[in-house]
Chain A
């Protein structure tokens, strides 16, 4: 059974950089796309972007080039960094595995990690 687990700081100061890691276990990290999605408390889902196991990535333009994703296939780790955060970046951040091109079918998800942006 595939498992994903997000980790990182739960509190980030405004203007600083948010850095999260997602560990993938129970299956090969190759041949899939990995997506980061966030959800402000009590609100809907927002696609942040995807990273392919090959390292190629695509991001939501709404983030104004602040997001960067990478993959470490040797250690089955994904990472997300988001620069210059504001209170609007406060959300639960999920990593998810996606089947098919762009990882469109999100079949395995982490449990999510709440990140609060506050001084």
Chain B
């Protein structure tokens, strides 16, 4: 299975901060990465697909990028509704696998 090593596992930030989360893939997966947001008690929500494409209806403060086997997810200016857990997911090879998650909470 492809391992997606996500970091950090948690971070504390303030409203307005720039936040970056990374996922390191265990092998080359091209740009086959999605990013999801999950709030407590809710299902995950697709934010970014194909490493850098914004899902319809998702605010433009969310973005993604790729460099080799490292994938980054950025919130340019953290909003109160963005406190949640974020997951990367690879889809280059089955089984689909997720990173361990990054919990973003209020500093």
Interface residues on A, range: 20 to 34
Give chain A residues whose Cβ lies under 8 Å from the Cβ of B44.
45, 94, 106, 109
- Measured in the bound complex, the distance between the Cα atoms of B32 and A110 in whole Å is 24
Contact A94 B98 (CB under 8 A): no
Give chain B residues whose Cβ lies under 8 Å from the Cβ of A107.
46, 55
* B34 in contact (CB, < 8 A): yes
- Measured in the bound complex, the distance between the Cα atoms of B91 and A56 in whole Å is 18
Over the window 1-23 of chain B, the binary record of Cβ atoms lying under 8 Å from chain A Cβ atoms (1 yes, 0 no) is 10000000000000000000000
Contact A58 B49 (CB under 8 A): no
Contact A102 B98 (CB under 8 A): no
Given A45-B44, A45-B87, the answer on whether A104 and B96 have CB atoms closer than 8 Å is: yes
Over the window 77-119 of chain A, the binary record of Cβ atoms lying under 8 Å from chain B Cβ atoms (1 yes, 0 no) is 0000000000000000010100000101111011110000000
Which A residues lie at the B interface, using CB under 8 A? 35, 44-47, 49, 58, 60-62, 94, 96, 102, 104-107, 109-112
Contact B96 A105 (CB under 8 A): no
Most buried by A among B34, B95, B100, B101: B95
Closest to B50 in A: A105
Given A104-B34, A107-B55, the answer on whether A47 and B98 have CB atoms closer than 8 Å is: yes
Give chain B residues whose Cβ lies under 8 Å from the Cβ of A96.
43
Given A44-B100, A104-B34, the answer on whether A110 and B43 have CB atoms closer than 8 Å is: yes
- Would you give 9 A-B contacts (Cβ < 8 Å), ordered by A? A35-B96, A44-B101, A45-B87, A45-B98, A45-B101, A47-B97, A49-B95, A61-B95, A106-B36
Q: Across chains A and B, which 3 residue pairs bring their CB atoms closest together, nearest first? A: A109-B43, A104-B91, A47-B96
Closest to B85 in A: A44
Give chain A residues whose Cβ lies under 8 Å from the Cβ of B34.
104-106
